[in-house]
Structure 1
Amino acid sequence: MTSARQTVSYLTSRFREAGIRPEIRHGQNFLVDLNLLDLLADAAQITEDDVVLEVGTGLGSLTSRLAERAAEVVTIEIDERLAAMAEEELEDFDNVTLVLRDALESKHKLSTEVMDIVRAKLAEAPGRRFKLAANLPYNVATLIISNLLASDPCPVSMTVTIQKELADRIVAPHGTKDYSGLSIWVQSQCEAKIVRIIPPQVFWPPPKVHSAILHLEHSQALASQLRDPAYFHSFIRAIFLHRRKFLRGVLAKLFDGQLTKNDIDQLFVEKQLTPETRAEELPVATLVELSHWLLDRGLKVELASDQK
């Protein structure tokens, strides 16, 4: 039966008994509104064919809800103190694998150990699907989502609690202030929607900002249009480093020595772009086409040192 104990009083009591406090550096803000925990689990649409990855086990309140519905739950906790307490909370579930480690090996790479466990669980039965469902620590949310989109396998869906500001960026349409490289990377492969905006007071300790439950549904129709996802990702990151500059100048600098002025003129004529066009004004489909034009000509994207 799902534990309903992740309330402020229960958490403060458990932490006091253990002599510990939530770690800000690990983004430890626990969702204590039980209805919202249920909403997150419901929005993830977990079935008995699903292998669910959770990043940030906490004390296992969401984990237990996922385990009641899923074939397997692989839950990751970086804090050994919380992992020990979560093991006690989850001892009745034989379909939960709790891994004590960082979910990331580096800024641009998920943990090999974690992904190997996920693949092994998927291989245990035919027809299994990979999903992410988590109250993501704010400090790693962007990296988890971005890297999972480039992973093999890629989740068929991601349902997460993240900062509202980040959710707004992910779903932002072109031409708006929130439209970014992350917006494009996600929308090039997923249908994205905000399920619910949630206030700080439903967390313990409360963060300083509003949050959101975000649902991403991976679309094979969209993803299949990316001929080289890694190239596209690098291209988007590079041009959005200068999002408000004219795209013509950005491309000239980025592909200096690879593209001539006439090449850029040809590109702009073909794609019906003006000299004043900025990257932030272009829809995802147009940016995909631009990347293919560059890829067809064998052009290399050189990222700045701080982007690598």
Structure 2
Amino acid sequence: MPIDPSAALDAPPSVTPISWQESDVLLYHLALGAGADPTDVRQLAYATERGEEVLPTFAVVAPTLRATSPPAVSFPGVDVDLSTILHASQRVELHRPIPRDGKAEVSTGVAALYDKGSAAIIVVDSEAVGSDGEPLWTSSMRMYSRGEGGFGGDRGPDGPPAPPDRAPDHILETTILPQQALLYRLLGDRNPLHSDPEVASAAGFPRPILHGLCTYGAVCRAVVDRVLDGRSSAVRSLEARFAGVVFPGETLRTAVWVASDRILFTTQVLDRDGAPALSGGEIVVAAHEATA
């Protein structure tokens, strides 16, 4: 059986040392579309040494920066085929701003397993501790594995709450560059679904799709710039569900609602009549940082 709940949940986390440099952060920002306008001072703050900002979503790529093979879903008690996996949701909690150069130890393990009958939800948590011994970030990834349910586990919590029943405070448009998936794969996710037209066709797509985490980061940057005036250090946590695919070259429309220290959002694809991309989006910020 590919999933053994007892073995997966009882296993100690794996601990991996990681490091990153300013050039890694700059590449990450470029892979999210920063620098599309090379005369925009705010974009240059992300894309050149003149800035100090590090988007909080960098935490999701820092552990895999130098990977050159397609990712594998393999943990004690969990060994499933990558082709059965859909990235369901992602959450990042920042304990302090991420530096542009740094070292950390990342502890990773299966935190929960949910049984959806025909599928399993695998929750993998990672905690990063800086070289000074203090926590940097915690990330939580939910993966939907087709055909791996039926092991008799809990079905898991309900989905995220619906957005407020009122007009959004902001509407943001984000254009995904045609080459954006090719840039993003250099950060460590070499899944050919994002680069090889034949692999994408075999999976039922007309062309390679964008990494869900690239959409996640690009929308984070758009919200930080528009709602937080570029202050990425104000973000305490960010969570979203992946509701549909995005193709490089498309334009995203993000509806944003601001409520005290919470920013709620949903993202759709303009090019395909509002097809869903992200749902249940929530950014928690430091008190009094959000502006409607």
Would the TM-score normalized by the shorter structure come out above 0.5? no
Larger Rg: 1
Question: TM-score interval w.r.t. the shorter chain?
Answer: under 0.3
TM-score (norm 2): 0.24
Higher helix share: 1
TM-score (norm 1): 0.23
Question: RCO greater where, 1 or 2, for CA within 8 Å and sep 6 or more?
Answer: 2
